[in-house]
A and B are shown apart, each in its own frame.
Chain A
Amino acid sequence: MTIGLQSVAALRRPRVLPIYFGVLVFLLYLPLAVLLLFSFNAGTSLSFPMQNLTLHWYQRLFDSPEVLRAARNSMVVALSSGTAATLLGTAVALLLTRFRFRGESFLFALAMLPLVVPVVVLAVALLVLFLAIGIDRSLLTVAIGHTVVALPFVVLIVTARLAGFDRDLEDAAMDLGAHYPKVIAMIILPLIAPAVISAWMVAFTVSLDEFALALFLAGNDATFPVYLFSQLRFASRLPVMIALAVLLMVATLALVLLAEWIRRRGHRNVTDTR
């Protein structure tokens, strides 16, 4: 008995993991902290010594409709392509792990192929395709391109979850007469939800900062990375771009922490009533 307890305690002991995670988060956020610092700098470049502190750039930000429009465009494209990629990718993952058919390898290779091809090649090729077919370039064409490049990530993440997934629950449901689509929707999907959500987050992230496809396939509506690129030619515009990036990051963090706080309160309420 005591041996077992000791080993269980040993499993809990290493504080190494949280520290490791903390260091990683610190390194990831360090450049963002720098950007935050310089968003209050009156000067127009990232260099010491810093000149006067100012909120001027944030003010300018709200006077710049094009900047906000570019940010909105990026959001629209990322949301739609992220969702589309997740749906398509989950479908592929289900096919690969739940069905037996000739052409499984072909499907897997096809789903992985966008990872191999350099994005500039795909961008140029899609440009030629859209011009040849006569589809006008717009946020839609960008979203289409983004869906293609995000697909492999979704497939890999969801497949990793589904591989070797215990079939007992599925078999039981089918024995009870459930149609297979219902089994997918009611049993499989809820169980793999965290993986699907994290896959969606990756697809969303891939799209948000994607530049090459957006440059080639956007019409008049630039996404934020393309807009940023065009503005960087003016050294004077840089601080406003930094202000936007910082604002978005802080807003997202705040929202996320708020959501977590709400969730914890809700959880506490539930446990309190037990």
Chain B
Amino acid sequence: MHPRRATFWALYLLPVGWVGLFFLVPLVLMFALSFRADMQGELLGLWRPTLDQYEAIFAIGSYWRLLAISIGMAFIVALMAVAMAYPVAYFLVFRAGRAAGLCLVILMIPFWTSFLLRVMSWKFLLGSEGVINSFLTYIHAIAQPLGGLLYSRNAVVITLVYVWIPFAALPIYAALQRIDSEMLESASDLGARPWASFWAVTFPLSLPGVLASFFMVFIPTVGEYVTPLLIGGSRGSMFGNIIQDFFTKAANWPRGAALSMVMLAVTLVLVAIAARLVNLRRLLE
């Protein structure tokens, strides 16, 4: 065990130190800020802690409703993204062969272009006088331009799924690499049909990747704000937009910090429950 001790500390200290300094400390700063009454006075000086912000938040029912809706949306997005990403991961591992690396990069390249520019393109395509509507009107498939393609909650969900699929494929891709194709061949040699061997062998072995993928999509999507801002329209705001607004429109950092702490707490509780349910630790070994 002795040599492993040194390795352990070498591996442990750097990431924990980094995250500790550049994440935990700022987070604690924010937590402290949430107990401030307003922005007046020296920001980093001492102030009298108050529960004003939390009281105000708890009194506003619509915030809680929006949080619940955001969680629901995130759940749907994660579910759909993971389901639609699985075939992509499977393709990369079992069908793409040596071109897998190339295919992976091809999936990533669009994300190296500004999201803002790509959304502008989509708006051009989907707008009421855009290409798709013009085409559909031209062939008389529709009489009025389709309004719901943009600026709605559904549009936000669809966009988020679209954007997440390539990323969601990666943990699944990583997990599927553990599977020996010989294992699958033996299964079929023993008479198992493809679907059966998939559900009995492949899928269970890929489960850590599927779960990792689900959480990877779900957790940040709860606090998502960019896509709702660009595509959601007036009724498509998510909880992240409210937090964003308190920082960048209202200059009310204490309120924003308090809302973030609430979202953090709720998300952590949900994740803890989920982790219990799937017995995460057992899966990691």
Contact = CB atoms under 8 A, between A and B. Distances in A.
Interface residues of A, number: 106
Contacts of B119: 31
A113 interface: yes
B192 A7 contact: yes
Contact of B178 (A29, A108, A128, A165): A165
A267 B284 contact: no
Nearest to B256: A121
Contact of B165 (A24, A145, A152, A160): A24
B219 A163 contact: no
Contact of A163 (B223, B244, B284): B284
A65 B92 CA distance: 39
B136 interface: no
B232 interface: no
B223 A118 contact: yes
A115 B219 contact: yes
Nearest to B44: A132
Nearest to A256: B105
Interface stretch (B49-57, B148-156, B257-265): B257-265
Given A120-B248, A225-B116, A267-B98, A34 B19 contact: no
Interface string A99-128: 101001101111111111110111011101
B216 interface: yes
A62 interface: no
Interface in A1-59: 3-4, 7-8, 10-11, 16-18, 20-21, 24-25, 27-32, 34-35, 46-48
Given A228-B114, A245-B114, A180 B170 contact: no
A216 to B, nearest CB: 10
Closest 6 CB pairs of A and B: A125-B26, A31-B121, A7-B188, A161-B174, A195-B174, A160-B209
Interface of A: 3-4, 7-8, 10-11, 16-18, 20-21, 24-25, 27-32, 34-35, 46-48, 88-89, 91-92, 94-97, 99, 101, 104-105, 107-118, 120-122, 124-126, 128-129, 132, 144-145, 147-148, 151-153, 156-161, 163-165, 179-181, 184, 194-195, 197-199, 201-202, 205, 208-209, 211, 224-225, 228-229, 232, 241-242, 245, 248-249, 252-253, 256-257, 260, 263-264, 267
